[in-house]
Amino acid sequence: MGEVFEMKLKGIEEQGDNVGRYSKILPKIIDHHIPVHNISECTKEGDIIFTITMDSLGVSRDVFWEHTGEIFSPFVADFLGELIIRTNLDKFTDKLTRMHHDSFVYAVKGGETETCHKRFGMKVKDGMISFRFHISLLHEILTEDFRQVMG
């Protein structure tokens, strides 16, 4: 995983009791690989939606619903979304590399105004969890990884 992401994870651990409610559910979730079920094509506006199964989180549905307040918080949605992208990066880079250059530029630039990833959207339906993010995050992660490789 990238250095920035590892720093975020370390920051969670260092906060101790301040994130006690998260410490009950996050270790169970991040303790294993969460496979991506489906990844949509990038929209004209630069959004990508990917799905995972609820069961792939490594917690029972009862535990999931018991901790919905924590799971649906912006903090956890952002954390999980980025974790899943980083651990399945090859599947996401395939989408990026197949995009036509002009489509990528338009998606990132947003036409007249530049847009960028701010937060993950997250929703649950029929045992599937969907995450929505802006493609600029993927570009940022790949650029970060490239910088680390180049030293």
| pLDDT band per the 50, 70, 90 thresholds, residue 146 | confident
Within 8 A by CB and 6+ apart from 48, the residues are: 39, 40, 41, 42, 92, 95, 132, 133, 134, 135, 138
47-53 sheet: strands from edge to edge: 38-39, 47-53, 128-134, 121-125
What global pTM score does this model have? 0.77
Confidence band, pLDDT 50/70/90 cuts, at residue 4: very low
pLDDT tens per residue across span 65-105: 888 877 888 888 898 999 999 999 999 988 777 777 777 77
Query: Considering only CA atoms, which of 28, 42, 48, 54 is closest in space to residue 124?
Result: 54
Q: Exposed, middle or buried: residue 129 (CB in 10 Å: 0-12, 13-18, 19+)?
A: buried
Domain that holds residue 52: 3-150
Query: What is the predicted pLDDT for the residue at 49?
Result: 95
Is residue 111 over pLDDT 60? no
Number of domains forming the structure of the chain: 1
Query: What band does 63 get if pLDDT is binned at 50, 70 and 90?
Result: confident
Amino acid 22: pLDDT: 66
* Cα separation, 60 vs 66, whole angstroms: 10
